[in-house]
Amino acid sequence: MKGSRGMVLAMLALALIVSSGAQASFVIEGGPLQWVLEGKPSSSRPVEYVGLRLIRVGEERRSLYFRLSELHDDQGNEFPLDLIVLRTPYDSDEQRWENVLSERCLLAADDDYVDLKLGVRYSEVVVAGTYRGSLLSDAGEEVPLEVVVQPFTDVTLGPATIRLDALAGPGLYRAAEPAQISVRANHVNWIVNVNSGGLFRIDDQNRVAVQSEFIPLFFVEVRAANESSGRENLRLQGEDYGREALITFEVQAYVGWGHPAGTYGGVINVDVEVGD
């Protein structure tokens, strides 16, 4: 009985020691550690920093090291750890966590507090979403981080203007070279609508001829070139192409008897939407 009681007391003493050791050795002022990234990523984009002060609690004098957990969104996408950057007075260079096992000293043993800057270098495409993770330390509770990456859609078109020589009488004419749309996005909810106000006859002064009747333009995507006819409105969706796409399409026009022979010109319009 006495042996059993002694074992219980020993276990209680051990629990108190563990509990005491688990008490936080620091507090943080400033923050919160949250970022909202809008627009397109770029290597020349400035780092978006959040300032914070790390303050020692208690009498224990030791350096405090921190790790960075993985950051995931609700879909399981991962935010690149090397885009999270750190500035401390202990190193003149920008610091990073190479992986989840990497540790960085945020508070030296001789200091009672330190002013830090934690930031995000948005230099590469990251899937749109809300990413959550933590700074981790054996010296206290985890410190939550949140990075919100807003959707962006970058669309370029070339060529945007069309010239067509209709000199061989009525019939179907094609532009000399196809047009291309390049889409770069961090989501698949983009929708690109391609249309035109049509072609108008151009006179010798490179101006729209007086009383020129417009000719509708039709677009035929090259990968669907077996279609019998084009469409006046071409609707392209990210669900079909993914986050990045290079889409080529032919530009066609049917010239009838009512259209005088000559050179016709027009403009291709591109409208970008973001679906739900």
Global confidence as pTM: 0.83
Whether 153-274 and 26-149 are alike in CATH topology: the answer is yes
11-55 pLDDT, tens digit per residue, is: 333 222 233 344 679 999 998 999 999 999 999 999 999 999 999
Q: With a cut of 90, say whether residue 8 has pLDDT above it.
A: no
CATH code for 153-274? 2.60.40
8 Å CB contact between 249 and 175: no
Q: With a cut of 60, say whether residue 148 has pLDDT above it.
A: yes
Cα–Cα distance measured from residue 68 to residue 134, given in angstroms and rounded to the nearest whole number: 6
Per-residue pLDDT, 210: 61
Other CB atoms within a 10 A radius of the CB of residue 254 amount to 16
Per-residue pLDDT, 32: 94
Cα–Cα distance measured from residue 229 to residue 196, given in angstroms and rounded to the nearest whole number: 16
- Sequence ranges of the domains in the chain: 26-149, 153-274
Across the chain, mean pLDDT equals 88
79 - beta bridge partners?
Answer: 71
What is the topology classification, in CATH, of domain 26-149? Immunoglobulin-like (2.60.40)
